[in-house]
Structure 1
Amino acid sequence: MNYLPNIIFAIILIAGIGYFSRNVNKLWRNIKLGQDKDVSDNKSQRWKNMAMIALGQSKMVKRPISGFFHVVVYVGFIIINIEVLEIIIDGLFSGVLYEGHRIGMSFLPEAVYGFLIGSFEILAVGVLIAVIIFWLRRNVIKLKRFLSAEMKGWPKSDANIILYFEVVLMCLFLIMNATDATFQSYNSGNVISQFIAPLFSGLSESSLHLVERSAWWLHIIGILVFLNYLYFSKHLHILLAFPNTYYGKLTPQGQFKNNAAVTKEVMLMMDPDADPFAAPAETETEEAPAKFGASDVQDLSWVNLLNAYTCTECGRCTSECPANQTGKKLSPRKIMMDTRDRLEEVGKNIDANNGTFVDDGKQLLNDYITKEELWACTTCNACVEACPVSIDPLNIIMEMRRYLVMEESAAPMELNNMMTNIENNGAPWPYNQMDRLNWKNE
């Protein structure tokens, strides 16, 4: 029975990691529903982008105040959780392979261990300060980009839940250190907890130990709960920012990919020597796509779907969007959130039907994203430039526009007139080619 705590810890750890693995498999399954896309080019630049943007937070700090506090939370939360390794080792092997707890105190020099834990405590306070500021920005100051229509309900609650999570975890970490009599007598590393310890000075030794053990257990359970909550939260970007920045767009911002089949037809039309009725040579035969553009998530590329899951809902894209600034309904953030919500709906459909998608009569176009939103986009790439994790909402917009034009002939009247003029007159204006220079005679 002396090993009962170790057994309980192992069960909790296996359950937490097992459920997380299940969600990771589901996440990967959903992303793979997208169309194939080759992103194997220029690997050195991709690694550089991942190091600079995801790890170095280079785009986040373009807004210095929020960027600075985000870096504090990011660095603090990640580094502090290095101590989780010590907790896991203690939970599994303390009392089995060695007595006591805090294996780091036994195997690391006092100066090294003290520096590590002291740094963790300072960062924990930094995280608490930053989280409080973030909470005030959202709930008291109420910044405009957090008040958009798509941020009502669950998205708002989700953002606050994460903040509460971080506050609780940091407080448990500090309380654990402050009530650990062995650590407090260590005289090294307790740079913050030494000021918290007097709050518990009236407790008996057994009560103090109970508080320390409770904080210890709640801290590791909280970490596992937080890990599994990520799948249901916008904070999934903590994990996905790295692959997303690696697979991010490398081509110039204004460059769009043309459809090869359509390009060939246009080139044929523009070649005065080509015979439009001649059968193409075998080497020139290229199968036309089954569908032009995208009307649902399965029509988008897997990179688009990875983008959707990586969205941080920070709203920087929407706040920079000129269409949104002039009162149009377009919100690049909503485009990404709608894509993710539809993808989740498709994934649940597959789960409910033994691995097969059954038509539910819905699609991303119209049921989630309206034509009005799509045609409001100016294709200026402001949203792409603003995103701190290399998400490309514009690509989704353009693929859905391609579907509207080429599959449904549902372009706005102005665009249809322009395309008709190009076809008939070789220019977007409604004038015959022979009459184009008449203006100079006036």
Structure 2
Amino acid sequence: MQYIPNILFIIALVAGIGYFTKNIRKVIRNIRLGKDVDRSDNKGQRFKNMAMVAIGQSKMVRRPIAGILHIIVYLGFIIINIEVLEIIIDGIFGTHRIFAFLGGFYDFLIGSFEFLAFLVLVSVVIFWVRRNISNIRRFKTLKGWPKNDGNIILYFEVVLMTLFLTMNAADLQLQALGADHYIKAGAYPVSQYIAPLFNGLSEGTLIFLERGAWWLHILGILVFLNYLYFSKHLHIMLAFPNTYYADLNPKGELDNLEAVTNEVMLMMDPSADPFAAPAEGEEESEPAKFGASDVTDLNWAQLLNAYTCTECGRCTSECPANQTGKKLSPRKIMMDTRDRLQEVGANIDKNGSFQDDGKQLLNDYITPEELWACTSCNACVEACPVGISPLSIIIDMRRYLVMEQSAAPSDLNNMMSNIENNGAPWPFNQMDRLNWSNE
């Protein structure tokens, strides 16, 4: 009977980590649906970007209030959960505060954890007020699940930090009573003010309270871990690879489509026969698709971007097109891409391979009106705290509209016709360009 709690703990731990692993494998599979792109260059700069942006949060603090609060919550939650290692060891082997042998250093750790837990609680409350009460437009425009998702995470944080402090407060009381297995260990600068609430409770009640908080805390962490797959907070983990694999080219530099380059090189090769039949034994290949109309036309780094989006809205708040009332929202571009990618993934899960569902990213999720509203200014890319580029997706979808569907706006079509016919974007013959100088 004495090993039943240990067995139950191991079952819960294996089930929680196993379900999380299963879902993360789906995320990796979905990202790999994208086209290949080489992001293996300049490893030193990539590690530096990850250290500065993902770990150091250098772009978050450009808005100091939100940035500092986010750092507190981020570091607090990560550091506090170092204690999870102790909880796991205690849960498996039936020990209690296995690291207490560290003595004064253990006291420092527990005291630091409690202080951070208090700061996390304060920061979370401020975040909740900002999201739900303050008149911040980028939060006001979130409705339904995206809004609820952000709040659920905040509630998770409050519950987990409260359970952590409650567990310590009950433990402190049991230490004072000299209960078996509750050795005097740790410093409790915050929970010492909670412990008096438990004065007068019996030892059995205190043990039930401490064990209950302990179990709920670790189970809550496992639930939180698995909730990430369904939440925008997957960026907690994906921010690291996303910043590492970010595009290092100067902002504003567009890549050349390989398919277009190959076509141009073929036309410039005097010995090439563009109408030649394939050699014997070779199958005739389909012409390459220009641009992107669905998520599988994007590259894997763009799909990683979509999964990493924090939905913070900084990109949209900086977007000049959005500020002037245009339909474009870079945040929506990323959310739509992720939603479509998850839909494609669910299709694969159901059928074993993707079966045409009559939908695509273009038109069913993102409209041409949104795409053409973009000024290509890179403000959204510069504003993103985790190195996401909505612009790259917009450009690829524009390419599809122009090169595959000839569906550019009339003004753009006129300009391209003028360049083709007149060698300039203006509707004047080359011979007439200098007529203005004679007036």
TM-score normalised over the length of structure 2: 0.93
Indicate how the Cα distance of structure 1 residues 183 and 32 shifts in structure 2: closer, same or farther if over 3 A, else same. farther
Aligned to 1:232: 230
Cα deviation for residue 279 of structure 1 reads: 3.5
How far off its partner does 1:328 sit? 0.4
Structure 1 residues 102-144: Cα deviation after superposition (integer angstroms, max 9, x where no partner) = 1011x31x21000000000000000000000000011111411
The letter for the 2-side match of 1:104 is F
Shift of 1:439: 1.0
From the superposition, tell whether residues 342 and 352 of structure 1 become closer, same or farther in structure 2 (CA, over 3 Å): same
Alignment partner of 1:143 is 2:136: yes
- The number of aligned residues is 423
Say whether residues 1:411 and 2:408 are aligned partners.
yes
CA change 1:19–1:275 in 2 (3 A) is: closer
Contact persistence 2:266–2:272 (CA under 8 A): no
Query: 2 CA distance for matches of 1:248 and 1:288?
Result: 31
* 1:390 and 2:387 matched: yes
CA distance in 2, matches of 1:407, 1:14: 49
CA distance in 2: counterparts of 1:224 and 1:24, whole angstroms: 14
Structure 1 unaligned regions, length at least 5 = 95-99
Residue in structure 1 matched with residue 29 of structure 2 by the alignment: 29
Instruction: Work out whether residues 73 and 127 of structure 1, in 8 Å CA contact, stay in contact via their aligned partners in 2.
Output: yes
How far apart, in 2, do the equivalents of 1:364 and 1:267 lie?
A: 31
How far apart in 1 are the matches of 2:272 and 2:155? 68
Alpha-carbon distance change, 434 to 268 in structure 1, aligned in 2, over 3 angstroms: farther
C-alpha contact (below 8 Å) 2:10/2:92 kept by paired residues = yes
Moved over 2 A (4+): 181-188, 260-269, 274-280
CA–CA separation in structure 2 for the residues paired with 1:239 and 1:87 = 22
Report what 2:419 is aligned to. Answer: 422
**Which residue does 1:97 correspond to in 2?**
none
Question: Which residue matches 1:62?
Answer: 62
- Confirm or deny that 1:251 pairs with 2:242: no
Q: Give the structure 2 partner of residue 344 of structure 1.
A: 342
The 2-side partners of 1:163 and 1:156 are apart by 11
Task: Choose the corresponding residue for 1:162, options 142, 148, 153.
Answer: 153
Letter of the 2:321 counterpart: A
1:104 counterpart residue number: 99
Code of the residue aligned with 2:97 in structure 1: it is R
Residue 171 of structure 1 is aligned with which of 162, 174, 197? 162
1:260 shift after superposition: 3.7
Q: How does the TM-score come out when normalised to structure 1?
A: 0.93
Go from structure 1 to structure 2 and tell me whether the alpha carbon gap of 1:213 and 1:264 turns closer, same or farther (over 3 Å shift). closer
How far the C-alpha of 1:276 sits from its partner, in A, is 7.4
Match 1:380 to one of 377, 380, 386: 377
Identity fraction in percent: 73
Q: Which runs of 5+ in 2 are unaligned?
A: 177-182, 277-284
Contact 1:261–1:288 at 8 Å: present in 2 too?
A: no
Contact kept in structure 2, 1:128 and 1:170, CA below 8 Å = yes
Q: Cα RMSD (Å) of the superposition?
A: 1.8
Written as runs of structure 1 = structure 2, the 5 A alignment for 1:124-143 is: 124-143=117-136
Q: 3-state DSSP class of the match of 2:161?
A: helix
Instruction: Return closer, same or farther for 1:14/1:265 CA change in 2, 3 Å cut-off.
Output: closer
Which residue identity does 1:209 align to in structure 2? Answer: I
**Secondary structure, aligned partner of 1:212:** helix
Partner deviation per Cα, 1:44-95 (whole Å, 9 max, x = no partner): 100000000000000000000100000000000000000000000000012x
2:292 to 271, 291, 294: 294
